[in-house]
Structures are given as C-alpha cells and as structure tokens.
Structure 1
C-alpha cells in the first residue's frame, strides 16, 4: 500500500481523527541515513508524528518541525513535515543499537532517553513561527508528542505511532491521531472513552501487518460514534528541498578567506545534507566564482 494520509470526524464533529501510513518514506530514510533498527523506529515515529501534526494546518507552505533531544545515545532527532505531505529528518547518531526492552520490542525510549525535551515549531506560513517546549515523558515519541498537544495546545489527544523494521527493512510504519476538539474538550466521558479504546489496541503497526487499512482501523475505533471519513486521500513522501544552488549559497556565507583556503588545501569542497544524506561537490572553479561574486558585491 502506498504512503498516504486520511482525515475523519466523529461524535458530531467533536472528534478529529487523522491516520497516516509512512512505510515507504521511513524505509527511504533508513536507507539514506543507514539507520540502525532502533534509530529507524525513532525517526519513523517522529516523521509520522510530524505529518499528523501538519495535517490540520491550512496555509500552503506551512510546516511542523519536531526536535527531540533526550539523554539517550541517539542524541538529537529532527523531523520536518509539511502540509503538502512531504517530510524529512535525521538522527544525530544513526548507528546506535540497543538490546530489546523488557517487552521484547525495540527500546526507543532507552535510545532517545527518558529525560530531555521535545521542541515543536509550527510555521503557519506567515508571521513568526510558533514554538513550544515540553519535557519528555517517556522518550517513546508518541507519548511525548501527545503530552505536547495536551499541555501546549490544550487539546486532549491520543497518538499512536509505530515502525516495524526487520532484516529486509521497514515493512510497516505510520500513526493515528485522535483529538477531542475544543467545543467538546470539557466532556470528560468522551476523553475517557477515546483513551480507553486506544489503550486496548496492541499498537498501530500490528494492525497494519494484519492487513488492515486506515479506514478499517478508524472504523474499529470510532465506527459507533458517527464516523465520517473525508473523501480526500493525501499522498505523503520523503522529500528534501536541498539543492546544489543552496549549497553554494551556504558556502558563500563562509567568506572569501575560507573559500580560498578550501581551494588551496582541498581543491574543492564537499557538503552533505543532514536531512537526506545527499552529497554535493563544488570544484575549484565554482569556489573561485563565489569569491568573484563576493568581491563584486563588496564594491
């Protein structure tokens, strides 16, 4: 099944539901960054969370940036997702691997760390981006993002994200976001009902591996609450906006002396995009042209 995102409402528009399948894009990230099993799971969860958070933004060009900084060995995890369905991300220490946790599953919490912070930046397409910081509650990412939604956006939320990765790569990844909208947020019974139903699930990826579609998963959770699945299906994908011209622009900012040093010592320059792993090479002539441009701009 192709990577996709769908939206739905339930309980007379009191509940918003968004589901995403992100298997292929998570596998692409794994290959691009040569991620370990646990690093794949951590980044995959962060990217799925980013796509789910970005899904309710309205203005073209809007993006959500999720930055996880825990005290675990993975270091920084960064995912950047857009309302257009694109996402990218990286892990600071992609080769880190840990033994399974006490439940026999990938120890994402231990790899991320149980102490630290989650930073969320929402760029709504105009004005200054909105940023918020919350402490990590588990390092499992899904619980941490749900905690952010409750404490920073005052929106009762349940978030399930998961990644199943084996010897052949990622075979299931995605997530589900359920939110009680503001007009019904004071209805404690509705909030408790959602929490109870989500807690009864074995996880998100086991449902995908059973062959269930996003629609079937939503039907299982909300079918008796007047579920209405919106007809639009949005395709999602791993995509990075880096380019050789952007690399040249970044090199230019180093200044004439640094560029000249690169020409003399390295006979060129190499830059690697953190988000996608793409390697860019600038030769001596291209660096010399940057120096010429800098001199022209200074006159």
Structure 2
C-alpha cells in the first residue's frame, strides 16, 4: 500500500477520524538511521502520531513536533511532521535492542521508559508556537499522545499506532486517530463507544497485514455511525529540509578560528543531519571561502 492519509467524520460531525499508512517512510527512517527493531517501532509510532496530529492544521507550513524523553535506553525520540504530509525524526540511541515483552511484541514501553515526559510543539504557521508537556503514561507512544490530547487539548481521543518490522524491514506501519468534537464532547455514551471499539482491536498493523485498507478499517469502526470518508487522500513521506547550503551556513557560524582548525587538522569538514542521516562533506576550498566571507563581513 502506498503511504497515505485519509480523513473522515461520523456521528453527524461529532467524531473526527484520520487514518494513515506509513510503511514506506518508516522503512526509510529505519534504513537511514540504521535502527534496531525496537527503535524502528518507537520512531515509526512517533512519526505516525505526528502526521495524525498535524492533519487538522490549516495554514501552509504548519508543523507538529513530538519529543519523547523517558528513562529507557532509547533516550530522546523526536518526530517532526507537517500539514503537507512530510515527516522526519530520529532516535538518540538507534541501535538499542530489547527482548520482546510478555506478549511477544517489541517492548517499546520499556525501551522508551515508563517515567519521563512527552513534549508537543504546534507551530501554527503564525504567531508563537503552542507547546505543552505531559508525563508519560506508558512509553508506548500511542497511549502517551492520546493522554496529551485529553490532558492538554481537552479533546477525548483514541489513538492507535503500530509498526511491524521483520528481518526484511518494515512491512506494515501507520495509525488511526478518533476524536470527539466539541459539539459532542458531553455525549459520554459516544466517548465510551469509541473507547470500547478501539480497545477490542488487537493493534493497527494486524489490520494492514490482513490486507485491509484505511477505508475498510474506518468503515468497520464507524460505518454504523453515518460515516463519511472524504474522497481526497494525501500522500505522506519521509522528507528532510536539510541541504548543503544550510550546512555551510551552520559551519560559518563556528567562526574563522574553528574553520581554520578544521582545515589544518582534517583538510575539510563532515556534517551529518541528525534528522535524516544525510552526510555532507565540505572541502578545504569551501571552508577557505567561508573564512574569506567572514573577514569581508
């Protein structure tokens, strides 16, 4: 299945639903960062969550930044997603591996850590970004982001994200977000209904592995609640805005003395983008040009 995002409403506009498939982009992140199995699952869930949160933003250029910092061995996990369907991210300790949990699944909760914080920043494309921090609930990512939505944005939400990764790489990844809209938030029966239906699912990736499409999944969950799936779908992809020009700009900020030291010791400079793993090489002539620019300024 091609990576995509779809939107829907149900219950006379009282429920907002978004589904996303992120298999290919999660595999690209795994390959770029050389991620372990559990690191792939943690980052993949975070990137899918970021895309789901960004899906309700309106202004071009809007982005959501999800930052998890638990007491587990993976360290910091960061995902940055845009309303345009692009996402990127990284794991501080990408090669950490853990044995499966007692259910035989990747132990993302222990790898992230049960104690720590989830920090979310929403850049609306104008004014000051909105940020909020909540304590981790489980480290499983989906539960933590859902708790953020309820705690910080006062929006009753059910979020299910997952990644299935085997010896050959990522074969299924994505998620679904169901939210009670303000007009229906007092309808406790609707809230309980959503919670019940999501809790009965064994996970998101088993649905994809069974060959079900996003539309089929939403239809099975909400089809009896006057479901309307918007016909337009959105492509989503792993994309980083780094470039060699930005790297040169960052090197220039180091100053002439540091640049000269790089020339004398290394005959150039190497920079690696933390978000995508792209390696950039600046040779001696390029560093000398930066020094000349600094002196001219």
TM-score by length of 1: 0.99
Give the 4+ runs in structure 1 shifted more than 2 A.
none
Distance 2:253 2:155 in 1: 42
Aligned to 2:290: 290
Distance 2:103 2:193 in 1: 26
Aligned to 1:116: 116
Aligned to 2:29: 29
Please list, as runs of the form range in 1=range in 2, the aligned pairs for 1:79-94 lying within 5 A after superposition.
79-94=79-94
Matched residue count: 297
CA-to-aligned-CA distance 1:1-32 (integer Å, 9 cap, x gap): 10000000000000000000000000000000
Q: 1:186 Cα shift?
A: 1.2
Distance 1:41 1:238 in 2: 15
Aligned to 1:137: 137
Distance 2:65 2:226 in 1: 33
Distance 1:148 1:200 in 2: 22
Aligned to 2:246: 246
* Aligned-partner SS, 1:208: helix
* Aligned-partner SS, 1:171: strand
Query: Which residues of structure 2 form unaligned runs of 5+?
Result: none
Distance 1:282 1:128 in 2: 35
Aligned to 1:267: 267
Aligned to 2:217: 217
Q: 1:183 Cα shift?
A: 1.3
Distance 1:252 1:133 in 2: 34
Aligned to 1:16: 16
Please list, as runs of the form range in 1=range in 2, the aligned pairs for 1:89-104 lying within 5 A after superposition.
89-104=89-104
Give the RMSD, CA atoms, in angstroms.
0.5
CA-to-aligned-CA distance 1:242-297 (integer Å, 9 cap, x gap): 00000000001111111111111111000000111000000111111111111111
Q: 1:40 Cα shift?
A: 0.3
Aligned to 1:279: 279
* Aligned-partner SS, 1:225: coil
Distance 1:141 1:66 in 2: 10
* Aligned-partner SS, 1:13: coil
CA-to-aligned-CA distance 1:148-182 (integer Å, 9 cap, x gap): 00000000000000000001100000000000001
Aligned to 1:39: 39
Query: Which residues of structure 1 form unaligned runs of 5+?
Result: none
Aligned to 2:176: 176
Please list, as runs of the form range in 1=range in 2, the aligned pairs for 1:159-174 lying within 5 A after superposition.
159-174=159-174
Distance 1:139 1:17 in 2: 24
* Aligned-partner SS, 1:173: strand
Aligned to 2:257: 257
* Aligned-partner SS, 1:118: strand
Aligned to 2:237: 237
Please list, as runs of the form range in 1=range in 2, the aligned pairs for 1:42-57 lying within 5 A after superposition.
42-57=42-57
